[in-house]
Amino acid sequence: MEIACTILAGGLGTRMGGVRKAFLEVGGVRIIDRLLEACRPLFQEILVSCRKQEGFDLPGVTLVPDTYDARSSLTGIQAGLAACRASHTFVTACDAPFLQTGLVQRLLQQAEPDADVVIPLKDDGYMEPLCAIYSKRCLPHIEAQLAANDYKVLNIFDKVRLKQVPVDLLRPGDPELLSFESVNTPEELEAARKRL
């Protein structure tokens, strides 16, 4: 299976005061650069879905503009799937500074050609839609949902073949499951910086 990587970086960063979260630094390194460091060993094709391309001077990375006017994770997933050459893409968000190569590698090992979405399932029953693998077969369902102004990623899951991966299978690559941590607020950013 060919699997690309799509980093979602098209959000407004509203809770962060309107800043572009991909360029925030944690430990003196921009989050986008941290993500690329984690993903480059695993993917030959890496895309960044972004509304504004200024500042994304990233060698070997394809910048993909959103097709839809609305800003949501689902529009970014759609853009990445439509643009990637591979049949599947791993999706992560630009506000996940601690994404671990080991966890992504173990998720990739769970991918199957017939699965439309391969997604981590946490112990509390919550699925992680922004640390998951999506097939191009999801595109018609995503586009129909976007046309209906429904931007909730989880709402496509009952229309596709979903494979849930218990986090215990992923934990050896990320014992503390730091890959799932995101920085959506100044407080979360400060906590991430203190962690380092």
Give tens-digit pLDDT for 110-137: 999 999 999 999 999 999 999 999 999 9
Q: How confident is the model at residue 13 (pLDDT cuts 50, 70, 90)?
A: low
Give tens-digit pLDDT for 17-38: 567 899 999 999 999 999 999 9
Using alpha carbons only, what angle is made at residue 11 by residues 137 and 129, rounded to the nearest 5 degrees? 40
In this prediction the pTM is 0.94
Domain boundaries, the chain: 3-195
Give tens-digit pLDDT for 161-174: 999 999 999 999 99
Q: Which CATH superfamily is domain 3-195 in?
A: Spore Coat Polysaccharide Biosynthesis Protein SpsA; Chain A (3.90.550.10)
Nearest Cα to 6, choosing from 79, 106, 97?
Answer: 79
